[in-house]
Amino acid sequence: QVFKPIVEKFNFTFNCDIKRRGYYPQGGGEVVVQMSPVKELSPINLTERGTVTKIYGRAFVAGALPIKLAKDMSAAAVRCIRKEIRDLYINIQPVREPDDQAVGTGSGIIVVAETSTGCLLAGSSLGKRGKNSDKVGIEAAEILLRNLKHGGTVDDSLQDQLIIFMALAKGVSRVKSGPITLHTQTAIHFAEQLTKAKFTVTKSEEEDPSKDTYIIECQGMGMINPNL
């Protein structure tokens, strides 16, 4: 819901078909990914957040868990978001995964905010034995709200996932983010070791000084697919 539409801004597309979801500890999920090769990746410029235009998501249960838990997670998340954002319709669908499309028992929620410039930021949380379903919903909502407050264009989960694509792209990519995560620092370190890309991270001067917002810039190596 977040990774695919944003990463496709590097000028490639792929299809991701979730055949079956697998839950801890058994696992057993199955995903089929298909894509067409491209000659090179284009750089991206994700520096304009815009305004939040919609908030949506899904709260799910699978296996032996009742749909009521999904409804409780959804309602708790909506109540939490409503304290900060009052003028937007929030659509978090409670769903029960079909038994033939899920292995094991599990629950969770993802809440996505979409902005006027096409940015997608999210918060998510997984349920577990002994964890109140309201708490799961509130956790996801609080993560989303935290990601919205810093003014960046990506959330703290997507932040590090874009690094390798920025490194491989041809040209300069720029992404505005919140606080730089340890995952992102690690991804930058290894991307620079493995490619000729060069990253710089600077405090964003456009934002309110009280906001912890940064610009991640990368001069990509411009990797070329020799088979095309």
Q: What is the pLDDT of residue 3?
A: 96
| Residue 83 covered by a domain | yes
Q: Which of 183, 207, 217, 223 is catalytic?
A: 183
Give domain status of residue 143, yes or no.
Answer: yes
C-beta separation of 172 from 47 below 8 A:
no
* 13, part of any domain: no
What is the pLDDT, as a whole number, of residue 147?
A: 95
CB 143 within 8 A of CB 125: yes
Q: How many domains does the chain have?
A: 1
AA identity, residue 83: K
* Pairing between β-strand 172-177 and β-strand 45-46 as defined by DSSP bridges: parallel
In a domain, 98, yes or no: yes
Domain assignment present for residue 228? The answer is: no
Chain Cα centroid distance, residue 165: 15
N-terminal to C-terminal alpha carbon distance within the chain? 30
Q: What pLDDT is attached to residue 205?
A: 81
Q: Strand 102-103 to strand 14-22: parallel, antiparallel, or no bridges (unpaired)?
A: parallel
Question: Residue 142 sits in which domain range?
Answer: 52-149
**Residue 163 belongs to a domain:** no
The values of phi and psi at residue 40, to 5°, are -160, 160
DSSP state of 41: P
Q: Whole-angstrom Cα distance, residue 79 to residue 50?
A: 24
Question: Residue 113 belongs to a domain with what CATH number?
Answer: 3.30.360.20
Say how many C-beta atoms besides its own lie within 10 A of residue 79's C-beta. 14
Q: Among all chains, which residue has been given the structure tokens 């983010």?
A: 177
On whether the CB atoms of residues 220 and 170 are closer than 8 A, the answer is: yes
183 belongs to the catalytic site: yes
The Cα 153–Cα 140 span in angstroms is: 18
What pLDDT score was predicted for residue 21? 95
Residue 186: CA count within 13 A, CB half-sphere: 4
Residue by residue, pLDDT tens for the chain (228 residues) are 899 999 999 999 999 999 999 998 889 999 999 999 999 999 999 999 999 999 999 999 999 999 999 999 999 999 999 999 999 999 999 999 999 999 999 999 999 999 999 999 999 999 999 999 999 999 999 999 999 999 999 999 999 999 999 999 999 999 999 999 999 999 999 999 999 999 999 998 876 667 789 999 999 999 999 999
User: pLDDT value at position 207?
Assistant: 61
Q: What's the pLDDT score for residue 206?
A: 72
Backbone angles phi, psi at 218, to 5 degrees: -140, 130
